[in-house]
Amino acid sequence: MLPPGSSVITTAEGPGLNNTRYFPLGTDRFGRDFLSRVVAGSGLSLAVGLVAVLLSLLIGVPLGAFAGYLGGWFDAAVSWLLQVIWSIPTLLLVLAITLAFGKGFEQVFLAIGLSMWVEVARVVRGQTLALRHIEWVEAGRVLGLSTQRIVLGHILPNLVGPIAVLASANFAAAILIEAGLSFMGVGAQIPMPSWGNLIRDHYSAILTGHAHLALIPGACIVSLVLSFNALSNALARQASRPPAS
């Protein structure tokens, strides 16, 4: 067993032969290469963000679009549901879903995705309400086009910009939520590497001269979240830019 932070290990590979291995970021408290654990954790964070965003879009986009277009009792019921769920803090909702389905990798995907569709549905519903009485939508109704064709073929293509902005922002939020869940012990479980559980396992190393074991995963989380926030801001500026004449 290597002490945390050890960067060199010498092992005997045969009679009179020594094999020296170098670990750029040292080893964790179990003697495992810390760099490989950090890299593997990036895959988990990206996977959680992607699956959570896709799940939130699959639920929120059609529900918000049809609620905004149809109106009436369906819109009232969806709006009531959105307000109820929106009143619950996101992290508390994710924790409740996670505890209901149990700890694990798949449960994290499901919990984060089911907590993010509400914001997607609210934005799509609001945008659809603004488009439902535009001339080309009214023309489609006069021509006898079905509700599905008008919503899916004419309204949603005009919402690609706002949906892309929201998706990139939710990607960053999903990474933060997953890291928080793993840090609290209800997200990805050992031995699966996650930036959150890497910080949890090594935050005490800050006081023992190996602060990088906790700071590097934290820096990775901050960098990835800021990157997707910057992407979201760039998409928002592009979507709000008037078309060239």
- How confident is the model at residue 61, as a pLDDT? 92
Residue 112, pLDDT > 50, answer: yes
pTM value? 0.79
Residue with the two structure tokens 């918000």: 64
Question: What is the pLDDT averaged over residues 125-132?
Answer: 87
pLDDT(9) > 70: no
3/179 Cα distance (integer angstroms): 25
Per-residue pLDDT for 4 more than 60?
A: no
Asked whether 29 and 6 are in contact (CB, 8 A), the reply is: no
What is the distance in angstroms between the CA of the first residue and the CA of the last residue of the chain?
Answer: 68
In the structure encoding, which two tokens stand for residue 193, read together?
Answer: 């590497």
pLDDT at residue 58, rounded to an integer? 93
Which pLDDT score, from 0 to 100, does residue 57 have?
92
Kindly tell me if the per-residue pLDDT of 177 is higher than 60. yes
In which band, very low, low, confident or very high, does the pLDDT at 213 lie, cut at 50, 70 and 90? confident
Determine the average pLDDT of the residues in 2-21. 48
Q: Which two tokens stand for residue 140?
A: 């489609």
The mean per-residue pLDDT over the stretch 87-111 comes to: 79
CATH 1.10.3720.10 fits 53-240, yes or no: yes
Residues 183, 185: Cα–Cα separation, whole Å: 5
User: What is the pLDDT, as a whole number, of residue 8?
Assistant: 46
pLDDT > 70: what percent of the chain?
87
pLDDT attached to residue 243: 52
Instruction: Tell the residue number behind the tokens 């209800």, with chain if given.
Output: 186
Please compute the mean of the pLDDT values over residues 5-34 and round it to a whole number: 58
Question: Which backbone phi and psi does 31 adopt, to 5 degrees?
Answer: 80, 15
Instruction: Output b/e per residue, 58-96; b: 16+ Cβ within 10 A.
Output: ebbbbbbbbbbbeeeeebeebbeebeebeeeebeebbbe
